[in-house]
Amino acid sequence: MTHALTIDDQGIATLAIHGKKSLNIVGTPEITSLTALLLQLRDEPRLRVLVLRGRDERAFIGGADIHEMAALTPDTATAFITRLKDLCEALRLFPVPVIAQISGWCLGGGLEAALACDLRLGSADSTYGMPEVKVGIPSVIHAALLPRRVGPSAAAWLLLTGESIGAAEALRLDLLHQVHAAAALDAAVQATAAQLAGLGTQVLRQQKRMLRDWERQPVEASIAQSVAEFGSAFRTGEPQRYMQAFLDRKR
């Protein structure tokens, strides 16, 4: 089964990941097709926001295919994890905000993909973990984002023990931005997506790009670069339009 993509009239794209079995496991076919779809979608002119979700409420992504990984060699293992890295990078560097809508299980490679998204909204019954050490492999690639997201202490616990946590703990650690009852999650995600879609297209793309730059630059360089970014925003016409609309409302 292929991944399901829709784009509504607000420019909100929803991409449902179709993996294997009940936990929505992903292997090479799912990873490569999803990456190709993201690379194609990034050039869609109507696009304002991307919502990434699992195919149903049982799992966002329950991890990478252990049947495939059990047969890997050092060389094929490097190729496999590079494909998963490329998928996560396609999400992290996607030009518009990406919202992870997380229901059920979010484990291993699934949590790495979620970490690469900009916003993470989870259902109250969702579960998170990096269980790789329990099957003899380290958590790698975008697990490197975990210390930045939850702090070094919580990251060490999750990565070294391989234990899972529930949604309430994930929210407390700032792994999630919001938690909602399972029945309310879809509406909450759509409300957030609509809020973002109502903002200027160019300013959201600019702000996301700057966030990625700030992750790798010294703070002094980020501050200096942002002066030019502020000026360039006024070439788009969006500050003038949105500020005038704000002033008109005040009157």
- DSSP tag of 96: S
- Per-residue pLDDT of 24-54, as tens digits, reads 999 999 999 999 999 999 999 999 999 999 9
Across the range 50-72, mean pLDDT stands at 98
pLDDT tier at 1, thresholds 50, 70, 90 = low
DSSP secondary structure of 185-208: HHHHHHHHHHHHHTS-HHHHHHHH
Across the range 208-232, mean pLDDT stands at 96
Q: Please name which of 224, 191, 228, 221 lies closest in space to residue 206, comparing C-alpha atoms.
A: 228
pTM of the model: 0.96
State yes or no: pLDDT of 112 exceeds 90: yes
DSSP secondary structure of 117-154: SSEEEEETT-EEE-GGGGGT----GGGGGHHHHH-HHH
The pLDDT of residue 25 is 98
**Whole-number average pLDDT of the chain:** 97
pLDDT tier at 95, thresholds 50, 70, 90 = very high
Give the end-to-end CA distance of the chain in Å, rounded to a whole number: 54
Task: Give me the phi and psi of 48, to 5 degrees please.
Answer: -125, -35
